[in-house]
Amino acid sequence: MTTNKELLSLRTANTPRGVGTQTNIFADRARNAEIWDVEGNHYIDLAAGIAVVNTGHNHPAVIAAVKTQLERFSHTCFQVAPYDVYVQLAKRLNELAPGDTPKKTIFLTTGAEAVENAVKIARRYTERSGIIAFSGAFHGRTMMGMALTGKVVPYKAGFGPFPAEVFHVPYPIAYHGISVDDSLDALATLFKSDVEPSRIAAMIIEPVQGEGGFYPAPTGFLQKMRAVCDEHGILLIIDEIQTGFGRTGTLFACEQSDIEPDLMPVAKSLAGGFPLSGVIGKADIMDSVPPGGLGGTFGGSAIACAAGLAVLDIIENEKLCNKAQAIGVQVREWATELQKNNNCIGEIRTMGAMCAIELVTNGDADKPDADLTRTIAANALTEGVILLTCGVRGNVIRFLPPLTIEPELLGKALEVVGNTIQKLSGNVVRKVG
């Protein structure tokens, strides 16, 4: 039998440490919300491959669609011999995207690549260069992705210089004393002191800040950003890479703000575990780029597009948006009960099944407890629950189970996490220095 330890030493010797891993268990097989490692240990998966398998690991309908496509062909390159599943998936997404304006969709492979392409298209359409992003944002690890990302360590440190003309303003987070007015004031100051709005091609925003700490945009904020963009001819890019495909209780999170994005990068859960990303955008904006300006050898893999069609069916047939809302309620009720006896839980945030607790010392929002957060995740793992941490301060535990998780299994995992928190809060050995 291969052990986790053997594979870890192989990994350490042969792969760079820059690809951080949150656990040292090596996956052997996975079904729905459960993973077994190479030693046969069983885990409940509250990470879903970082919000990638909203439809669960190896959903039978996804696997069937992929098998059928594999029998036909795996790759011709859409730019050489285009194929049906690409254009069929584009049509469905164009119909499902928020707003009435006709849409077009390009497919790529990773989230960062989708963000890159959204920026390219926005610059080409507007013939402007500037891009506004938000502090705490995460938009990927390519050069433009890093430039847009609003967190230096570990994403940007030592990798510059980045593409120019990217400006950051604070993301409104009431828990940390940043109001919507503060963000609007910062934007006004930016337009006065750094760059005129007529030089800005686009503003990019996550409807729920993901890696930054699972902070949903306050009510009305996205609408205000839409209005600012409209006033100045700036395109609004809504990054739905982590929030999309039912995660927040609607197919796309920005639907809940009743706004229509100009461009919408999507990825992660789009293809149920197969690498696929895309940019869905208003048709005239998408068509501003002449032939040859967009694309990529693997962009819109036929296998992944076939999986994507199955994912959209599953979300609809299995009512996964409703299930996401039910998961949010279950996690919130559990966390609220736990918070009564544990003042380390500073804030509970749920938007559908994008759920988080922020861990602090003595209920003080200004005293983030990253040590406790790491320790809870590590201990939960030894008890068989895979948890992810996040946050600019490293003190947020996020809950991202597949939307198909059985409520009983989720309850079991939450019980484990709850016991771990009860045991640890107050007696964690803090790092010195």
The helix-helix angle for 302-317 and 320-341 (nearest 10°) equals: 70
Least distance from C-beta 79 to ligand PLP, angstroms? 21
Least distance from C-beta 163 to ligand PLP, angstroms? 16
Contact set for ligand PLP, span 4-63 (CB under 6 A): 50
Binding status of residue 379 toward ligand PLP by CB under 6 A: no
Quick one: 271 or 338, whose CB is closer to ligand PLP?
A: 271
Q: Which of 139, 168, 247, 282 binds ligand PLP (CB under 6 A)?
A: 139
How far apart CA 358 and CA 132 sit, in angstroms, is 27
Residues facing residue 83 across a β-bridge: none
Binding status of residue 242 toward ligand PLP by CB under 6 A: yes
Quick one: 136 or 334, whose CB is closer to ligand PLP?
A: 136
Least distance from C-beta 206 to ligand PLP, angstroms? 5
How far apart CA 312 and CA 307 sit, in angstroms, is 9
Write the secondary structure of 190-211 as one string of H (helix), E (strand) and C (coil): HHHHCCCHHHEEEEEECCEECC
Least distance from C-beta 371 to ligand PLP, angstroms? 24
Positive/negative CA dihedral, 246, 249, 250, 256: negative
Label the pairing between strands 200-205 and 385-386.
unpaired
Least distance from C-beta 286 to ligand PLP, angstroms? 19
Using CB under 6 A, count the residues that bind ligand PLP. 15
Least distance from C-beta 274 to ligand PLP, angstroms? 12
Binding status of residue 391 toward ligand PLP by CB under 6 A: no
Least distance from C-beta 350 to ligand PLP, angstroms? 17
Binding status of residue 267 toward ligand PLP by CB under 6 A: yes
Label the pairing between strands 354-361 and 364-368.
antiparallel
Give the 3-state secondary structure of residue 355: strand
Q: Could you give the angle at the alpha carbon of 354 between the alpha carbons of 48 and 369, nearest 5°?
A: 95
Q: Could you give the angle at the alpha carbon of 215 between the alpha carbons of 211 and 218, nearest 5°?
A: 145
How far apart CA 58 and CA 61 sit, in angstroms, is 8
Q: Which of 49, 210, 249, 368 binds ligand PLP (CB under 6 A)?
A: 210
Mark the segment that binds ligand PLP (CB under 6 A) among 205-213, 278-286, 317-325, 387-395.
205-213
Mark the segment that binds ligand PLP (CB under 6 A) among 64-72, 195-203, 204-212, 341-349.
204-212
Q: Which of 98, 136, 140, 352 binds ligand PLP (CB under 6 A)?
A: 140
How far apart CA 347 and CA 358 sit, in angstroms, is 5
* Tokens encoding 351: 């938007």
Binding status of residue 202 toward ligand PLP by CB under 6 A: no
Binding status of residue 239 toward ligand PLP by CB under 6 A: yes
Reply yes or no: is the peptide bond before residue 154 cis, omega within 30 of 0: yes
Site for ligand PLP, rule CB under 6 A: 50, 110-112, 115, 138-140, 206, 210-211, 239, 241-242, 267
